[in-house]
Structure formats: structure tokens, C-alpha cells
Amino acid sequence: MKAVWYRAPGPAREVLRYGEVEVPGPGRGEVRVRVTASGVNPSDTKKRGGWLGMEMGHPLVIPHSDGAGTIDAVGDGVDPARLGERVWVWNAQGDGRPFGTAAEYVVVPGKQAVRLPDGVPWSIGAGLGVPGCTAHYAVLGDGPVRGKRVLVQGGA
């Protein structure tokens, strides 16, 4: 598959490479998603840049935590009915996984591939992960807001 990757932290223009890497297969409880859109977050660029001495943890890293696409393979323990499902993916590089969504395919735990309704653009789906979960936590993290006024400042 085609992918963007890096083998050492540093500025994008110096460390990012593009080419062929092996297509991953899903393990137990995982799904493989054919990526249509990949989202880039500040944490992705900080990680690639070696922010605060952040270790890579793997000899090769495919960046980007969020994305959207179609489930094309499922591992044991995942309902085969999910094949062909439109999904948005969050935290693809969570739990120390080295491969994110800057590739044609990504493998994530099934719970991290959330159904994307028909009619919602892929680009919107790719932006739901880190930004969407952060916004949800920021609004609801201290408890219910029903019946209260909530100021959302700086939404883009």
C-alpha cells in the first residue's frame, strides 16, 4: 500500500517519506479501514517533531491519529456485517500502535471505527477524532449541561 512514514523525528520536509509498505491485517477485535481521508492534529506534528524529547517507540511510524474510510476486513470477534461500513477512526496510534491514517489502510480496534452516516463527507469524518472528542470532553467533562448556558469560545 502507499503510505507516508518517518524513521526519525524532525521537520516534515526532512523526515517524511512516501512509498510502499506492507498492507496490515486485522487481529482479534480489530478492523482494517481503507482510508479515504486522513486528519492531521497538533499532536501528530508534535510527535513527528520529537516534541519534549518524545520517543518514537518504533523503527517506522505512519503518522496521523484520525481518519475516515470503509471497513474492508475484520478480525476474529468482529461482526462480519461491518464489512463495507463507512466509519470515522479516532486515536489510530493509541496504545503504542505505530501506524496511523496517512496510508491507504489502517488497522484499529473495532470500537475505534465509528459508523459515519451516509451523506456526511469523508473530510468531516476525518476531523471528528481528536477535535470532536476534545470538544465533547470540554463541554461534558464536568457533568451534564442540560438546562444550562454553555459558552463555546474559539470553535472553528
How many CB atoms are closer than 10 A to CB 92?
A: 29
**CATH number for the domain running over 2-140:** 3.90.180.10
- What per-residue confidence (pLDDT) applies to 55? 75
Helix (H/G/I), strand (E/B), else coil: 80: helix
Task: Give pLDDT tens digits for 24-74.
Answer: 999 999 999 999 999 998 888 888 888 877 777 889 999 999 999 999 999
Domain boundaries, the chain: 2-140
Question: What does the alpha-carbon distance between residue 143 and residue 146 come to, in Å, rounded to a whole number?
Answer: 9
Mean pLDDT of all residues belonging to the chain: 92
Secondary element (H or E) of residue 141: none
